[in-house]
Amino acid sequence: MARRLAAVLVGLLVIASAGAQVADRRPLQFRDAAEETRFRDLTHELRCVMCQNQSIADSEAQIAVDLRREILRLMREGRSDDEIRRFLVDRYGEFVLYRPGIEPGTWLLWFGPFAALLVGGGLVWRSVRQRSTASSQAMASNDDGGDW
């Protein structure tokens, strides 16, 4: 009898903990269209920390669901968009932003493509110049000794 009771209790605990793990998938309720627009704009510019290639608005990962609810809570507390972004950056790092700020840690991200373009353009220019010089020298040597 005691074993059955223990098994039932363990089963109930497992079911209860599984229920706690399930995301609250109820749709968010907005007070007005302005709040919904602000929420949508903000969640589209923030990256899901689990999915990496989706915004918080588009992701169905549990953490994205939780972050959407957290963002709405922060908005209703009266926090500005910048304060909400800072809160998420403090918690998850610059990665959460699709457009991180220009800081020493993100210089390569912002200026790396331009530097690569400049280096590539310089290499092309140098190669074309060397070929042009070699071609000019070859033509000049052909003109000098060309009496048959």
Say which CATH topology domain 27-100 has.
Answer: Helicase, Ruva Protein; domain 3 (1.10.8)
Q: Residue ranges per domain, the chain? A: 27-100, 102-132
Locate all alpha helices (DSSP H) within the chain, ordered by sequence.
2-21, 33-44, 62-76, 81-92, 107-144
Tens digits of residue pLDDT in 103-134: 787 778 778 899 999 999 999 999 999 888 87
Among 11-20, 37-46, 57-66, 79-88, the range scoring the smallest mean pLDDT is 11-20
Rounded alpha-carbon distances, angstroms, from residue 19 to 13, 60, 69, 121, 141: 10, 18, 18, 59, 87
Whole-angstrom distance, CA of residue 126 vs CA of residue 137: 16
User: Quick one: what percent of the chain has pLDDT higher than 70?
Assistant: 78
Rounded alpha-carbon distances, angstroms, from residue 17 to 13, 55, 67, 69, 99: 6, 29, 21, 21, 38
Tens digits of residue pLDDT in 41-60: 999 999 998 887 899 999 99
Distance of CA 82 to the CA centre of its chain: 17
Q: What residues are paired with 47 via a beta bridge?
A: 55
Whole-angstrom distance, CA of residue 66 vs CA of residue 49: 12
Q: At residue 1, does pLDDT exceed 50?
A: yes
User: Quick one: what percent of the chain has pLDDT higher than 90?
Assistant: 47
Q: At residue 142, does pLDDT exceed 90?
A: no
